[in-house]
Amino acid sequence: MCAANATTLQLDSSGNLRHFLSIEGLSRSLLVRIMDTAESFTSVTRQAVKKVPLLRGKTVVNLFFETSTRTRTTFELAAKRLSADVLNINIATSATAKGESLLDTIRNIEAMQVDMFVVRHAESGAAHFIAGQVAPHISVINAGDGRHAHPTQAMLDMFTIRRMKGDFAPLKVALVGDVLHSRVARSEILALRTLGVSEIRVIGPRTLLPVHPETLGVRAVSDLDQGLEGVDVIMMLRLQKERMSSAFIPSEHEYFARFGLTETRLAKAKPDAIVMHPGPINRGVEIDSRVADGPHSVILQQVNFGIPVRMAILSLATQAGA
Amino acid sequence: MCAANATTLQLDSSGNLRHFLSIEGLSRSLLVRIMDTAESFTSVTRQAVKKVPLLRGKTVVNLFFETSTRTRTTFELAAKRLSADVLNINIATSATAKGESLLDTIRNIEAMQVDMFVVRHAESGAAHFIAGQVAPHISVINAGDGRHAHPTQAMLDMFTIRRMKGDFAPLKVALVGDVLHSRVARSEILALRTLGVSEIRVIGPRTLLPVHPETLGVRAVSDLDQGLEGVDVIMMLRLQKERMSSAFIPSEHEYFARFGLTETRLAKAKPDAIVMHPGPINRGVEIDSRVADGPHSVILQQVNFGIPVRMAILSLATQAGA
Amino acid sequence: MCAANATTLQLDSSGNLRHFLSIEGLSRSLLVRIMDTAESFTSVTRQAVKKVPLLRGKTVVNLFFETSTRTRTTFELAAKRLSADVLNINIATSATAKGESLLDTIRNIEAMQVDMFVVRHAESGAAHFIAGQVAPHISVINAGDGRHAHPTQAMLDMFTIRRMKGDFAPLKVALVGDVLHSRVARSEILALRTLGVSEIRVIGPRTLLPVHPETLGVRAVSDLDQGLEGVDVIMMLRLQKERMSSAFIPSEHEYFARFGLTETRLAKAKPDAIVMHPGPINRGVEIDSRVADGPHSVILQQVNFGIPVRMAILSLATQAGA
C-alpha cells in the first residue's frame, strides 16, 4: 500500500481536520487546537457523569486488523464519553477468514451508515489507503499503521509535555530505544518539530537508529549517558520482543546494561526532567522499575490524558466538512 | 432438531409478528408491512442523530453459535439505533465448552430478563427450536440456520428490489449459483413467490440445483446465458469455499468460465437489470469485479438497507403480544 | 498472591461497602441491606424500560482473567441497567501476551478514569490484591477468585433463599458435592452463618469435603440420604470436569449413583425443600434432570435474581466514600 498525500487527505477545504492519519503536514496551530480541545475534556473525565452528547447517534467503528487491547480500549472509552455508539470489529479473526479484500470490508461497513473508522493495521499506509476510499461523510483515525505512524499517541505525548512543561520552545528532548522501527518515534519527532522544541536527540544502538538522522531534524547519539545530558524530556520506546530475539541487539541483559534507564542514568538529565513511555513497559529491559514508578515518571498521566486527547480528535474530525 | 410449524410459531393471535424465523407462512401483507416500516427507518439512518427510542431499556441478545461478523454487526447496529442494550454472546467459544445443552443455555439467558434473541446456528431448525421454548415475552429472530433459512437477508433483498424496481408483479428474477445448499436462496425464493414476481429461474451446475425445482415454483436452467435472457433481477449466491474443494464443481477457474457473471453475460439480461449478492463476494469466482463494482450492481445498497430492514423486524417483533 | 484483610479493605470509614471481595467480615445488617436494595431493583427488571440512571456516566470494567460468559453477562446486564458504560477486557487473550504484569495492567486501566473493576481470576486473592492497589475512587467487585470466594454468587443465593423461605433462622441447609475446592461453597457457608441459619451440612465423598468441617461451623456427612434428612434448602455444587478425571472420584457414573440428586433422594428432605445450583449444571452427574427441571428447583430463579443482586452491589459500592 502506498500512502497518499497526507496533507490534502487530512484537511477539508477550510483547513479543519477531516481525517487524522499522520502528524505530517499538520500545522502548529492545528496541533495546539487539538491540545486546547483536549484540555476542555479533561474536566469531563473528572466529573461524576463523564459524558458529553457531542457524538450522540454517531457510530464509531474500531477496525482493528492487529490486536491492541489498550489502544482499542482508550478509543472505546473516548467515543462512549462523547455518547457515540461503538462497534468493535477485530478483522484478524473475522472477515479475512472468508477471503474478502480490505476494500470490500471497508465498503461494506461504510454501507452500514457509520461515521468514523478508527483503524489499526500492521501495514504502513493502511489508514491513508482507507481514508482515500471512504465516502465524504466518514472520518478515518489512524490508531497505528505498521512502522509508519501512531499520531494519537504522539498527540497525547505532546499534551502530557505541555501539561508538565508549559512551553515547547526551550525543551531538549531525548528519544531512547528502537527509533528506527518505531511508528511512535516517527510521529513524536514530527510533532516535537512542529511544536518547535529546541533540540531532539535519538539514542540507541546504531542498528536501531535512523541512518540519516539529520534528514529527520534530530541528532543521533549512541551513548545513553551522553545523550541524556541536560534534557528536559526523556521519551522511552518499547523494545519489541521480536527485535530482542533478532540480530539487532545482543541480549536483553546487555541491552539493559547499555540503554536501560536507571536512576543513575536519569541523574544526567535536568533535575526536573520527565520520563515518558507509550507502554506497555518492559521492566528491566528498557526501563528500571524505580524509574518507571519514580517521581519523574509521567507514564500513567500519559494513559490518563489519552482519553481527552482522543475525545478531542474524534470530535474535531466529526465537525469537519468534506 | 426438527422445525416446528413456522406459521403458528411466528405470529401472535392477532396475526402480528412475534418471532421471525422463516418467510414460510408469512402473508404478502406482512412482508409489505415489514418493508413499509423499514422505509420509515431509512430516514433515521440518514439523520445526524441516528437513534429512535423504540427499544429503549430492552435487551437484545446476539446469540451466535456460528461466527458471522457482518450479520452480527448489522443486527448490533439496528438494535443500538433503536436504543436497545445489546449483548453479544458467541457460544462457539463459551458455554458449550462447559458442556451445557442448548436448552440450558437458552433458559439461563432468558432468566436474565432479556427481550429478544437473534440466533445464528449451523443447524437447520435451531431458531425454530428456541422459539418453541422461550417465555411468552421473548422474540426470536433467525439470523441464519444451517441450510434452512436466512429470512432477514431475504427481506433486505426484497426491500432493495422494491426500491429499485417498484412493483414485483412484472419481474423476472434469476438466482445464480449453489441454489441447492443455500439458505439465502431458499428464503429469497419464498419471498419472491409471496410477493408475486412473474418468473423465478435458478441457474447453476446440475449438482448445485434442486432436484425438483417445480415443487419450489422455479425453473432450473443449467446454461447461464440462456438463464439470464431478459431478466430484471440477478441474485448471485456466494460459492462456499468448502464446495469448491469438493466434487461438486470441477475447479474455481472452470466455475467462473461457466457461471461467473461477467459484463458480456450481464448483457443478456434487461438493460436496466440489477445485480445482487448477499456478500462477501468471491471476486473472479462467481462474479467479475467489473460487474460487482459496475452500474448495475446494488450490492452495497443491500448492505445499507440491511440496517433499516432489521430495525423494522426487531421493532415489529417487540410490539407483538404473546 | 496473599489476600489482605477483607474487612478493613471492603468497608469505608462509615461502614459502607467500598469493595465487595468476600463475605468474610461483613455484618448481617450489611448482607440484609444488599438484599433489600436488590429487592428494590427486581421491579426495575420487570418494567418495560429496564433502566435506572444510578451509574450514568460511570465506567464499569469487566476484567476477566478467566473466561466466564455467564458471570460476565450478568455483570454487563446489571451495569447497563444502571446506565453505566461497560468495558469488557479479556486479559487471557490480550495484555499478558505482551508480558505486562497484573499491577501494570491495573494501573493503566485505572489511569483511564474508570470507576469500577469486576474481577475474575484463577488465583485466590487476586481481587483483594487489586483492591489493595487501586485509587480511592475505584471499587473492586470479586467475580470469583481461584478457590477462595465468589461472593456475588453467594448473595444471589441468599436472596433466592429469602424470597422462597422468608426467615433464615429456622433453616437447615445442605451443600452437596465438591465442597473442598469450591469458592461458591466457601462464600455460601460464610453468608449462611452470618445470616444465622439453624444448621449447615456439607455432603460429598470424603476426598471432596473439608478436613476440619467444625472450624467452618458445618457438619460433614458422607451419605447423601442421611445428609438430606429434613433439610429446607439443598445447594448443589457443580462437579468440575477436571475433578472427574482425577483420582478424587472413581467415575462419573459412580458419582451420580452415590451423590447425584434424584427425586428419590430429594424425598428425604422437607416436602417444601428448594433445590439450588450455581450452574452450569451437569445433568446426570450431580443432578438428575427431573430434579433440575422439577417443582422444587429454583435454579433459574437464581439466574434471574443474579441481575438485581449485582445491580445492588454495584450501586452500593459506588456510593461509598474512600
Q: Which tens digits make up the pLDDT trace of C213-223?
A: 999 999 999 99
CA within 13 Å, CB half, C89: 31
Q: What is the model's pLDDT at position B90?
A: 86
**Architecture label for domain A6-149+306-319:** 3-Layer(aba) Sandwich (3.40)
- A51, A67, A280: residue with CB nearest C57: A51
Domains A6-149+306-319 and A151-303 share a fold: yes
Sign, Cα dihedral of C65, C71, C72, C76:
negative
Q: Does A81 touch chain C (CB under 8 A)?
A: yes
Does the pLDDT at position C195 exceed 50? yes
Give me the CATH topology for the region B151-299.
Rossmann fold (3.40.50)
Greatest C-alpha distance within chain C:
56
Q: Which residues contact B138 (CB under 8 A, 6 or more apart)?
A: B110, B114, B115, B116, B117
Q: Does C303 touch chain B (CB under 8 A)?
A: yes
What are the strands of the beta sheet with B59-64, ordered from one edge?
B85-90, B59-64, B116-121, B139-145
Q: What is the model's pLDDT at position B242?
A: 67
The rounded distance, in Å, linking the Cα atoms of A204 and A210 is 10
Residue in chain A nearest B52 by alpha carbon: A57
Q: What is the pLDDT along chain A (322 residues), one digit of tens a residue?
A: 434 455 678 999 888 999 999 999 999 999 999 999 999 999 877 777 788 999 999 999 999 998 888 899 999 999 999 999 999 998 875 444 455 788 898 999 999 999 999 999 999 999 999 999 999 999 999 999 999 999 999 999 999 999 999 999 999 999 999 999 999 999 999 999 999 999 999 999 999 999 999 999 999 999 999 999 999 999 999 988 766 666 667 788 889 999 999 999 999 999 999 999 999 999 999 999 999 999 999 999 999 999 999 999 999 998 875 4
| Domain locations in chain A as residue ranges | 6-149+306-319, 151-303
Does the pLDDT at position C1 exceed 90? no
Lowest mean pLDDT among A167-181, B7-21, B110-124, C91-105: C91-105
Q: Which residues contact A319 (CB under 8 A, 6 or more apart)?
A: A16
Q: Which residues contact A314 (CB under 8 A, 6 or more apart)?
A: A55, A60, A75, A78, A79, A82, A84, A116, A141
- Are C314 and C273 a contacting pair, CB within 8 Å? no
Count Cβ neighbours within 10 Å for each residue of A106-125 and write b for 16 or more, e otherwise: bbbbbbbbbbbbbbbbeebb
CB pairs under 8 A between A and C: 63
Backbone angles phi, psi at C160, to 5 degrees: -65, -45
**pLDDT tens, C126-150?**
999 999 999 999 999 999 999 999 9
Query: Which of A50, A62, A287 would you mutate first to test chain C, the one with the most C CBs within 10 A?
Result: A50
Q: What is the model's pLDDT at position B39?
A: 96
Does the pLDDT at position B182 exceed 90? yes
C69-C75-C77-C79 Cα dihedral, nearest 10 degrees: -150
Would you call A98 a catalytic residue per the annotation? yes
**pLDDT tens, C158-183?**
999 999 999 999 999 999 999 999 99
Put simply, the answer to whether A111 touches B69 (Cβ < 8 Å) is: no
Q: What percent of chain C has pLDDT over 70?
A: 92
What are the strands of the beta sheet with C233-236, ordered from one edge?
C219-221, C199-203, C172-176, C233-236, C274-276
* Residue A117, beta-bridge partner list: A61, A140
Does the pLDDT at position B183 exceed 80? yes
Q: Which helix (H) or strand (E) holds A290?
A: helix A289-292
Q: What is the model's pLDDT at position B181?
A: 92
- B59, B95, B107: residue with CB nearest C300: B107
Backbone angles phi, psi at A232, to 5 degrees: -95, -30
From B51, B56, B70, B290, active-site residue: B70
Query: Which of B50, B86, B245, B298 would you mutate first to test chain A, the one with the most A CBs within 10 A?
Result: B50
**A-chain residues near C106 (CB < 8 A):** none
Put simply, the answer to whether C49 touches B59 (Cβ < 8 Å) is: no
Mean pLDDT within C186-196: 98
Q: Which residues contact A312 (CB under 8 A, 6 or more apart)?
A: A34, A35, A37, A38, A40, A41
Q: What is the model's pLDDT at position B47?
A: 77
Distances (CA, A) of C255 to C209, C289, C291: 14, 15, 16
**A-chain residues near B282 (CB < 8 A):** 99
**C-chain residues near A48 (CB < 8 A):** 57
- Are C9 and C21 a contacting pair, CB within 8 Å? yes
Q: 3-class SS at C185?
A: helix
Does the pLDDT at position C19 exceed 90? yes
Q: 3-class SS at B85?
A: strand
Q: Which helix (H) or strand (E) holds B79?
A: helix B69-81
- Are A245 and A270 a contacting pair, CB within 8 Å? no
pLDDT-derived band at B3 (thresholds 50, 70, 90) equals very low
Query: What is the DSSP track for B26-69?
Result: --HHHHHHHHHHHHHHHHHHHSSS---GGGTT-EEEEEESS--H
For residue A61, the tally of other CB atoms under 10 A from its CB is 24
Q: What is the model's pLDDT at position C321?
A: 58
- A46, A69, A241: residue with CB nearest C94: A69
Put simply, the answer to whether C113 touches A280 (Cβ < 8 Å) is: no
Does the pLDDT at position B207 exceed 70? yes
Question: In the predicted model, what is the mean pLDDT of chain B?
Answer: 91
pLDDT-derived band at C247 (thresholds 50, 70, 90) equals low
**B-chain residues near A56 (CB < 8 A):** 49, 51
- Are A138 and A116 a contacting pair, CB within 8 Å? yes
Put simply, the answer to whether A112 touches B74 (Cβ < 8 Å) is: yes
* Residue A139, beta-bridge partner list: A116
Is the CATH code 3.30.930.10 the one for domain A151-303? no
Q: Which residues contact B241 (CB under 8 A, 6 or more apart)?
A: A98, A99
Does the pLDDT at position B5 exceed 80? no
**pLDDT tens, B85-97?**
999 998 875 444 4
For residue B196, the tally of other CB atoms under 10 A from its CB is 12
Mean pLDDT within C77-105: 80
* ipTM reported for the complex surpasses 0.90: no
**pLDDT tens, B26-67?**
999 999 999 999 999 998 767 777 889 999 999 999 999 988
Count Cβ neighbours within 10 Å for each residue of B57-81 and write b for 16 or more, e otherwise: bbbbbbbbbbebbbbbbbbbbbbbb
Q: What is the model's pLDDT at position A61?
A: 97
The rounded distance, in Å, linking the Cα atoms of C243 and C238 is 10
**C-chain residues near B107 (CB < 8 A):** 300
From A46, A98, A206, A212, active-site residue: A98
Q: Does C104 touch chain A (CB under 8 A)?
A: yes
Question: In the predicted model, what is the mean pLDDT of chain C?
Answer: 91
Would you call B81 a catalytic residue per the annotation? no
Q: Domain C6-149+304-319 - what CATH class?
A: alpha beta
Pick the CATH number of C151-302 from 3.40.50.1000, 3.40.50.1370, 3.40.50.920, 3.40.50.300: 3.40.50.1370
pTM, to two decimals: 0.91
